[in-house]
Amino acid sequence: MDLINSLKVAASGLRVQSSRMRVIAENLANASSTADTQGGTPYRRQIPTFITEIDRVSGAQVVRPGDTILDRSDFGSRFEPGHPAANDQGYVATPNVNTMIEAMDMREAQRSYEANLNIVTATRQMLARTIGILRA
């Protein structure tokens, strides 16, 4: 694989991890939200997906963001009888977002982003050295 292809692969990784972090941030932002009315559903956790494909020009395998799917796991509940969304027993449905899982996913996405950024930096340095050698 040449240096340009490695840049394309790393750039696609940067885009995917960036979109993954946006979805995780949205999950975290809505982790404590509830429905506004009785019988309403609270925020449902989103899960980012990725699609691998072959770049037609270079033949490199790249990745791009896929559809964001909804986590179909059960909602939580908490006892809060005065809340407008409380059911007859006084329980309010809470989002199916686990902040610990989201924090771990965010850390993994951040490290993957940094790894791809390091590839871009190293590739740029190699290209600059190659140009320097060709000029000499």
Give the pLDDT score at 95.
96
> What does the pLDDT average to over 88-116?
96
Compute the distance between CA of residue 109 and CA of residue 104 in angstroms, rounded to an integer.
9
As for how many domains the chain has, the answer is 1
> What does the pLDDT average to over 114-124?
96
> What does the pLDDT average to over 108-120?
97
Give the pLDDT score at 58.
83
Give the pLDDT score at 49.
96
Give the pLDDT score at 59.
87
What pLDDT, in 10s, does the model give residues 9-55? 999 999 999 999 999 999 999 999 998 888 889 999 999 999 999 98
pTM of this structure:
0.87
Domain of residue 30 covers 3-135
Give the pLDDT score at 1.
52
